[in-house]
Amino acid sequence: MKSVLTTCPYCGSGCTFYLNVEGDQIVSVTPNQENSVNEGVLCLKGHFGFDFVNNKKRLTTPLVRKNGQLVEASWDEAIGLVAEKMKQAIAESGPDSLAAFSSARCTNEENYLMQKLMRAAVGTNNIDHCARL
């Protein structure tokens, strides 16, 4: 078994822990005693919320709807479809017809980019995130 130091993905606090990996599977988490943010303590999500990584039902490829069915698509195709649908919604109903909801699992930089996309590119202030909950 090997241990890999990483930052917790559940919020923006910056807690760190060691992922204990056996083969290609995460088997447990050990809090980092050296980090001044969490001082060796993790919330329940940080300590026990790693099992989604190995879940067989986890999506690894984008899905798009074709003829009423979800089918695998390339990243370029999926992103292109989202951009096309966003442009269509803006043309038909204006920029305030769109909204974005970002995540505390994202870095501050990623959340900044999401609000920049919505405000500067789309033209709406309809942006929120779950970090304030």
pLDDT for 2-28, tens place per residue?
Answer: 999 998 888 778 899 999 999 989 999
Q: Residue written as tokens 């760190």?
A: 16
pTM of the predicted model, to two decimals? 0.68
Q: What pLDDT is stored for residue 104 in this prediction?
A: 73
Q: Domains of the chain (ranges plus CATH)?
A: 2-54 (2.20.25.90), 59-92 (no CATH), 94-133 (no CATH)
How does the average pLDDT of the chain come out, rounded? 91
* Percent helix, strand and coil across the chain, each to the nearest 5: 35, 25, 40
The H helix count followed by the E strand count for the chain is 3, 7
Q: Residue written as tokens 């994202």?
A: 106
Q: What pLDDT is stored for residue 109 in this prediction?
A: 86
Q: What pLDDT is stored for residue 131 in this prediction?
A: 63
CB 29 within 8 A of CB 14: no
Q: What pLDDT is stored for residue 27 in this prediction?
A: 93
Q: Which residues of the chain fall below pLDDT 50?
A: 133
